[in-house]
Amino acid sequence: MNPIARLCLYMAFSVSVLLSMEIQILTLHVLAGISLIIFERAHWREWKNRTRPFWKYFPFTGLIFFTISFIVSDRLISVIIYDVTLATIRLLVLVSVMTVYTLQTYSQDIITALRSLWFKMNLEWRWVEDLLLFFDMTIRFFPTFKEEWQQMERSQKSLSFSTPDSFSAKAFQVAQFIPDFIILNLNKAESITRVMEMRGYGKVIPRSVFPFVRFTLLDFIWCILFSALLIGVHSIG
Protein backbone atom coordinates (compact mmCIF):
# COMPACT_ATOMS: atom_id res chain seq x y z
CA MET A 1 0.00 0.00 0.00
CA ASN A 2 1.14 3.53 -0.75
CA PRO A 3 2.43 5.30 2.40
CA ILE A 4 0.13 8.26 1.70
CA ALA A 5 -2.89 5.95 1.51
CA ARG A 6 -1.84 4.24 4.73
CA LEU A 7 -1.48 7.61 6.44
CA CYS A 8 -4.95 8.64 5.25
CA LEU A 9 -6.47 5.42 6.63
CA TYR A 10 -4.88 5.84 10.04
CA MET A 11 -5.71 9.54 10.22
CA ALA A 12 -9.33 8.84 9.29
CA PHE A 13 -9.53 6.17 12.00
CA SER A 14 -7.95 8.53 14.55
CA VAL A 15 -10.45 11.29 13.78
CA SER A 16 -13.25 8.75 13.99
CA VAL A 17 -12.02 7.68 17.45
CA LEU A 18 -12.01 11.26 18.68
CA LEU A 19 -15.55 11.78 17.37
CA SER A 20 -16.87 8.63 19.07
CA MET A 21 -19.05 10.06 21.82
CA GLU A 22 -21.23 6.98 22.32
CA ILE A 23 -20.11 3.84 24.08
CA GLN A 24 -21.33 1.56 21.28
CA ILE A 25 -19.33 3.29 18.55
CA LEU A 26 -16.28 3.60 20.78
CA THR A 27 -16.48 -0.13 21.53
CA LEU A 28 -16.27 -0.88 17.80
CA HIS A 29 -13.14 1.26 17.55
CA VAL A 30 -11.62 -0.46 20.59
CA LEU A 31 -12.22 -3.87 19.02
CA ALA A 32 -10.75 -2.67 15.73
CA GLY A 33 -7.69 -1.31 17.55
CA ILE A 34 -7.19 -4.58 19.46
CA SER A 35 -7.51 -6.56 16.23
CA LEU A 36 -4.87 -4.35 14.59
CA ILE A 37 -2.49 -4.81 17.52
CA ILE A 38 -2.97 -8.59 17.41
CA PHE A 39 -2.35 -8.56 13.65
CA GLU A 40 0.91 -6.68 14.25
CA ARG A 41 1.93 -8.90 17.18
CA ALA A 42 5.42 -9.28 15.67
CA HIS A 43 6.09 -5.71 16.90
CA TRP A 44 4.43 -6.30 20.26
CA ARG A 45 7.48 -5.64 22.43
CA GLU A 46 8.37 -2.37 20.69
CA TRP A 47 4.73 -1.27 20.72
CA LYS A 48 4.53 -1.97 24.46
CA ASN A 49 7.69 0.03 25.17
CA ARG A 50 6.44 3.03 23.19
CA THR A 51 2.93 3.12 24.63
CA ARG A 52 3.78 2.27 28.26
CA PRO A 53 4.19 5.92 29.39
CA PHE A 54 0.77 6.83 27.97
CA TRP A 55 -0.98 4.02 29.86
CA LYS A 56 0.23 5.69 33.03
CA TYR A 57 -0.14 9.32 31.95
CA PHE A 58 -3.69 9.34 30.52
CA PRO A 59 -5.40 7.72 33.54
CA PHE A 60 -3.55 10.15 35.80
CA THR A 61 -4.72 13.15 33.75
CA GLY A 62 -8.23 11.67 33.76
CA LEU A 63 -8.12 11.57 37.54
CA ILE A 64 -7.05 15.22 37.63
CA PHE A 65 -9.86 16.15 35.24
CA PHE A 66 -12.35 14.23 37.38
CA THR A 67 -11.21 16.06 40.51
CA ILE A 68 -11.47 19.48 38.88
CA SER A 69 -14.87 18.70 37.36
CA PHE A 70 -16.14 17.40 40.71
CA ILE A 71 -15.07 20.61 42.45
CA VAL A 72 -16.19 23.26 39.95
CA SER A 73 -19.06 21.48 38.19
CA ASP A 74 -22.58 20.76 39.38
CA ARG A 75 -22.96 17.62 37.26
CA LEU A 76 -23.59 14.21 38.78
CA ILE A 77 -20.60 12.10 39.73
CA SER A 78 -21.79 9.29 37.45
CA VAL A 79 -21.85 11.66 34.46
CA ILE A 80 -18.36 12.94 35.23
CA ILE A 81 -17.00 9.42 35.58
CA TYR A 82 -18.65 8.41 32.29
CA ASP A 83 -17.18 11.37 30.39
CA VAL A 84 -13.69 10.97 31.87
CA THR A 85 -13.67 7.24 31.17
CA LEU A 86 -14.68 7.66 27.53
CA ALA A 87 -12.16 10.46 27.01
CA THR A 88 -9.36 8.34 28.49
CA ILE A 89 -10.31 5.32 26.36
CA ARG A 90 -10.38 7.49 23.22
CA LEU A 91 -6.89 8.81 23.89
CA LEU A 92 -5.51 5.35 24.66
CA VAL A 93 -6.99 3.89 21.48
CA LEU A 94 -5.69 6.82 19.45
CA VAL A 95 -2.14 6.48 20.79
CA SER A 96 -2.15 2.68 20.47
CA VAL A 97 -3.27 2.71 16.84
CA MET A 98 -0.95 5.51 15.77
CA THR A 99 1.94 3.72 17.45
CA VAL A 100 1.23 0.74 15.21
CA TYR A 101 1.37 3.14 12.27
CA THR A 102 4.80 4.43 13.30
CA LEU A 103 5.99 0.82 13.47
CA GLN A 104 4.71 0.14 9.96
CA THR A 105 5.86 3.28 8.17
CA TYR A 106 9.01 5.39 8.37
CA SER A 107 9.03 9.15 7.88
CA GLN A 108 11.32 8.76 4.89
CA ASP A 109 8.69 6.63 3.12
CA ILE A 110 6.09 9.40 3.47
CA ILE A 111 8.43 12.02 2.01
CA THR A 112 9.36 9.74 -0.88
CA ALA A 113 5.68 9.05 -1.60
CA LEU A 114 4.86 12.77 -1.50
CA ARG A 115 7.73 13.59 -3.85
CA SER A 116 6.61 10.81 -6.20
CA LEU A 117 3.04 12.11 -6.22
CA TRP A 118 4.26 15.67 -6.84
CA PHE A 119 6.52 14.49 -9.69
CA LYS A 120 3.55 12.65 -11.22
CA MET A 121 1.49 15.88 -11.13
CA ASN A 122 4.23 17.56 -13.22
CA LEU A 123 3.78 21.02 -11.68
CA GLU A 124 6.71 23.44 -11.89
CA TRP A 125 6.36 25.05 -8.47
CA ARG A 126 9.87 25.43 -7.18
CA TRP A 127 8.86 26.40 -3.62
CA VAL A 128 7.05 23.10 -3.19
CA GLU A 129 10.07 21.24 -4.56
CA ASP A 130 12.37 23.07 -2.16
CA LEU A 131 10.04 22.39 0.76
CA LEU A 132 9.85 18.67 0.03
CA LEU A 133 13.62 18.54 -0.45
CA PHE A 134 14.12 20.32 2.87
CA PHE A 135 12.07 17.74 4.77
CA ASP A 136 13.73 14.92 2.85
CA MET A 137 17.23 16.12 3.72
CA THR A 138 16.26 16.82 7.34
CA ILE A 139 14.90 13.33 7.91
CA ARG A 140 17.76 11.72 6.00
CA PHE A 141 20.57 13.44 7.91
CA PHE A 142 19.01 13.67 11.37
CA PRO A 143 20.38 10.24 12.46
CA THR A 144 23.87 11.39 11.45
CA PHE A 145 23.41 14.62 13.37
CA LYS A 146 22.26 12.68 16.44
CA GLU A 147 25.18 10.25 16.18
CA GLU A 148 27.69 13.10 15.98
CA TRP A 149 26.20 14.72 19.07
CA GLN A 150 26.38 11.44 20.99
CA GLN A 151 29.96 10.97 19.84
CA MET A 152 30.82 14.42 21.14
CA GLU A 153 29.29 13.54 24.52
CA ARG A 154 31.30 10.32 24.65
CA SER A 155 34.47 12.23 23.83
CA GLN A 156 33.76 14.61 26.71
CA LYS A 157 33.45 11.67 29.09
CA SER A 158 36.65 10.07 27.77
CA LEU A 159 38.50 13.30 28.50
CA SER A 160 37.26 13.07 32.10
CA PHE A 161 35.11 16.18 31.96
CA SER A 162 32.76 16.31 34.89
CA THR A 163 29.09 15.64 34.15
CA PRO A 164 26.69 18.11 35.80
CA ASP A 165 24.03 16.70 38.07
CA SER A 166 21.31 19.36 37.89
CA PHE A 167 19.18 20.04 34.82
CA SER A 168 20.15 23.73 34.68
CA ALA A 169 23.87 22.88 34.80
CA LYS A 170 23.45 20.34 31.98
CA ALA A 171 21.53 22.87 29.91
CA PHE A 172 24.27 25.46 30.45
CA GLN A 173 26.97 23.00 29.44
CA VAL A 174 25.08 21.97 26.29
CA ALA A 175 24.52 25.64 25.38
CA GLN A 176 28.29 26.16 25.35
CA PHE A 177 28.76 23.51 22.63
CA ILE A 178 25.73 24.30 20.47
CA PRO A 179 27.17 27.33 18.54
CA ASP A 180 30.29 25.46 17.40
CA PHE A 181 28.27 22.36 16.63
CA ILE A 182 25.81 24.34 14.49
CA ILE A 183 28.64 26.07 12.59
CA LEU A 184 30.29 22.74 11.80
CA ASN A 185 27.03 21.30 10.46
CA LEU A 186 26.29 24.46 8.46
CA ASN A 187 29.67 24.09 6.78
CA LYS A 188 28.91 20.45 6.09
CA ALA A 189 25.49 21.37 4.64
CA GLU A 190 27.12 23.99 2.41
CA SER A 191 29.58 21.39 1.11
CA ILE A 192 26.75 18.95 0.36
CA THR A 193 24.79 21.70 -1.43
CA ARG A 194 27.80 22.62 -3.55
CA VAL A 195 28.35 19.00 -4.57
CA MET A 196 24.67 18.61 -5.50
CA GLU A 197 24.78 21.76 -7.65
CA MET A 198 27.96 20.61 -9.38
CA ARG A 199 26.19 17.39 -10.33
CA GLY A 200 23.35 19.39 -11.85
CA TYR A 201 20.78 18.54 -9.21
CA GLY A 202 17.84 20.91 -9.00
CA LYS A 203 18.16 22.62 -12.39
CA VAL A 204 15.13 20.83 -13.84
CA ILE A 205 11.72 21.25 -12.19
CA PRO A 206 9.98 18.99 -11.18
CA ARG A 207 12.85 16.94 -9.80
CA SER A 208 12.80 13.21 -10.31
CA VAL A 209 12.69 10.85 -7.33
CA PHE A 210 14.00 7.37 -6.65
CA PRO A 211 12.50 5.02 -5.76
CA PHE A 212 9.30 6.16 -7.44
CA VAL A 213 6.26 5.20 -5.32
CA ARG A 214 3.06 4.95 -7.32
CA PHE A 215 -0.28 6.15 -5.96
CA THR A 216 -2.61 3.73 -7.73
CA LEU A 217 -6.35 3.73 -8.25
CA LEU A 218 -6.61 0.95 -5.67
CA ASP A 219 -5.01 3.21 -3.04
CA PHE A 220 -7.52 5.94 -3.83
CA ILE A 221 -10.42 3.47 -3.63
CA TRP A 222 -9.18 2.24 -0.24
CA CYS A 223 -9.17 5.79 1.12
CA ILE A 224 -12.68 6.52 -0.18
CA LEU A 225 -14.22 3.24 0.99
CA PHE A 226 -12.66 3.39 4.45
CA SER A 227 -13.74 7.01 4.96
CA ALA A 228 -17.24 6.16 3.76
CA LEU A 229 -17.34 3.20 6.18
CA LEU A 230 -16.43 5.40 9.14
CA ILE A 231 -18.96 8.03 8.14
CA GLY A 232 -21.60 5.31 7.87
CA VAL A 233 -20.78 3.97 11.33
CA HIS A 234 -21.17 7.41 12.89
CA SER A 235 -24.36 8.06 10.92
CA ILE A 236 -25.94 4.85 12.14
CA GLY A 237 -24.82 5.55 15.71
Please report the pLDDT score of residue 162 as a whole number: 66
Please report the pLDDT score of residue 115 as a whole number: 82
Q: Where are the domains of the chain?
A: 3-109+213-236, 127-198
**Residues in the chain with pLDDT values less than 50:** none
- The string of pLDDT tens digits covering residues 57-92 is 888 888 888 888 888 878 788 888 888 888 888 889
- The string of pLDDT tens digits covering residues 1-23 is 788 888 888 888 888 888 888 88
Please report the pLDDT score of residue 38 as a whole number: 87
Contact 96, 13 (CB under 8 A): no
Please report the pLDDT score of residue 237 as a whole number: 58
Please report the pLDDT score of residue 199 as a whole number: 64
Contact 196, 202 (CB under 8 A): yes
DSSP 161: P
Please report the pLDDT score of residue 62 as a whole number: 85
Residue 108's nearest CA partner among 182, 210, 10 is 210
Q: Where are the beta strands (DSSP E) in the chain?
A: none
